[in-house]
């Protein structure tokens, strides 16, 4: 059967005629006893549906990142802060990120990835809220930016990225690697795009400070999911 289907693909005329006569020839129908319907109740009652909750928590994280990262430099420019100072804040944050990525592997060897994700999300969320409040004056924005941007975009991001990706690769296992990683990459892309798109509307409605506080609250929500998360 597989040989026949493969040979059909090499002859366009034969394939077109057969497909016109039987358009469902490539449709795969799963066996009823192997089909499992996803239920929302499994997100709140034990045994917890581990994989969907993990994806939801990670998606919330990247939506929050889109909300914050899209507007943070713009918020500093809006306060009249010099471009060189803004570049300095971003550069220090990236340096902390690089250094944390260098050491985080050894840090995670003897620690629970879910607990590490929880702590890094709380740290990042707190940093977002503080940097939002710091926009009251240019001086506070500069001082707190140099303090909390490296913590949020550097240390917290690197720890969460390493821990969450470790969890993803654990659930991939030896089966359906492409499907699982494809879903993960798709969710990350959609979440970042959604957060970036929504950031403009939110900042116009309630300002940069409100946008960053919302981003921080979303990270707290993601952190609570990681705290609730347990392998079934």
What is the maximum alpha-carbon separation in the chain? 74
Tell me which residue has tokens 């913590």: 151
Percentage of the residues of the chain whose pLDDT score is greater than 70: 74
**Could you tell me the pLDDT band of residue 228, with boundaries at 50, 70 and 90?**
confident
More confident residue, 17 or 36: 17
**Over residues 90-100, mean pLDDT:** 95
Q: Is the pLDDT of residue 232 over 60?
A: no
Say what the pLDDT of residue 218 is: 97
CA 171 to CA 231: how far, in whole Å?
10
Of 36, 21, 145, residue with least CA distance to 81: 145
pLDDT, tens digit (0-9, with 9 covering 90-100), for 41-57: 555 555 456 778 888 99
**Over residues 98-115, mean pLDDT:** 89
The number of angstroms, rounded, from the C-alpha of 214 to the middle of its chain's C-alpha atoms is 16
Considering the entire predicted model, what is its pTM? Answer: 0.77
What is the number of alpha carbons within 13 Å of residue 35 lying toward its C-beta? 6
């Amino acid at each position: 059967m597989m040989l026949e289907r493969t040979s059909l693909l090499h002859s366009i005329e034969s394939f077109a005629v057969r497909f016109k006569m039987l358009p469902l020839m490539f449709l795969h129908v799963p066996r009823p006893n192997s089909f499992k319907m996803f239920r929302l109740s499994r997100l709140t009652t034990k045994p917890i549906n581990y994989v969907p909750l993990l994806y939801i928590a990670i998606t919330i994280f990247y939506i929050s990142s889109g909300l914050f990262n899209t507007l943070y430099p713009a918020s500093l420019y809006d306060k009249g802060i010099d471009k060189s100072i803004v570049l300095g804040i971003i550069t220090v944050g990236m340096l902390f990120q690089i250094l944390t990525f260098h050491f985080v592997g050894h840090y995670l060897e003897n620690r629970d990835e879910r607990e590490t994700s929880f702590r890094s999300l709380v740290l990042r969320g707190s940093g977002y809220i503080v940097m939002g409040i710091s926009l009251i004056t240019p001086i506070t924005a500069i001082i707190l930016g140099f303090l909390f941007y490296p913590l949020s975009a550097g240390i917290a991001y690197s720890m969460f990225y390493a821990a969450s990706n470790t969890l993803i690769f654990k659930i991939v296992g030896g089966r359906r690697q492409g499907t699982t990683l494809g879903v993960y990459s798709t969710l990350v892309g959609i979440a970042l795009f959604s957060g970036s798109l929504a950031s403009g509307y939110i900042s116009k409605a309630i300002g940069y400070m409100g946008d960053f506080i919302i981003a921080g609250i979303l990270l707290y929500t993601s952190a609570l999911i990681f705290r609730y998360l347990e392998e079934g």
